[in-house]
Amino acid sequence: MRAPSLRLSAAVAAFCLMIATVLLAGCGTASASTSANASATATCPPQASFKTVTGKITSTGSGTIAVTDSQGKVTQVQISSTTRLTQIAHPAATSLAMGTSVLVLTDTNATVAQRINVLGAGANGSGGFGFGSGSGSGRPTGTGTPSARADSRCFQRTGQRFGQGTPGAGNGNGGAFQGVQGTIDTINSGRLTFHDAQGQEYSVAITPATVIQQTALAKASDLKVGMNVVAVGSASSAGIAARTIAIQG
C-alpha cells in the first residue's frame, strides 16, 4: 500500500523542482536584461557651459564686478588670478610712431586701410598681401586616452566636440583681402607707409572709416564703473567665472 504513495510523492517533488527551475531561469533573464539596460545608458559628466556678457560695469567689489547689458540684465562676473584682462584702445593715427609693428587689413585693391591693428613697437613682422577664397570641412577628432574609470562613450563625445578639425584650402580671385603685417615708416592722418619683413613697401590711405585698434594687458584694478566690457567664462549660479575680460575703449 505504501508503493503508490511513494510514487505520488516523487511525482509531486519532480513537478515542484521543475517549477522552481523555470522561476530561477526567469529571474536570471530579467537580471541580465536589467544589467544590459543599465550598461547601455552612460552617465556622463556635464559639459562645461560658457557664457559671454557684454555691457557696462555698474559696480565693483573684491574679486567681482556687476555688468549690465543693453536689456538691463545684471550679471555678476567673478575675477580670479587666472582671469586674463585686456584693454582695447583706439588711438589716433598721428599717435603711432615710426617703427611700430602693425597688421593692416585693406580693401581688395590694397589701396585703403580698413583696419589697423597695433601689435607693438619695433617688432617687425612677416606676411604679405594675398587674395583668394577657399572652403573645406574638418572632422573633429579627439586625442588622448581615457582613464580606467572613465566611460569610453563620454570620452568619445568630448573628443568629437573639442577635437581639432582639418581646415580646407582653396585659391582663386575675388576673395577677401588677407592683409599684411609690417613696420610703420611714415604715418599721418591720411596715409600710412610701411614695409614687411622682406622689405616690400606699401602705402595705403587712412579714411574716417579706418578702425585703428590697440590691445594691451590690463589689471583688475583698471576696471571702473562706467566702462564697457566683454566677459567670457563658465556659467555659475552666481553669474559667470570669467576667463577673459576685455575692456572696450
**pLDDT (tens digit per residue) in 179-220:** 889 999 999 989 999 999 999 999 999 999 999 999 889 999
Q: Average pLDDT for residues 106-134, to the nearest whole number?
A: 65
Q: Average pLDDT for residues 161-179, to the nearest whole number?
A: 43
102, exposed or middle or buried, with CB in 10 Å at 0-12, 13-18, 19+? buried
- Amino acid identity, residue 105? L
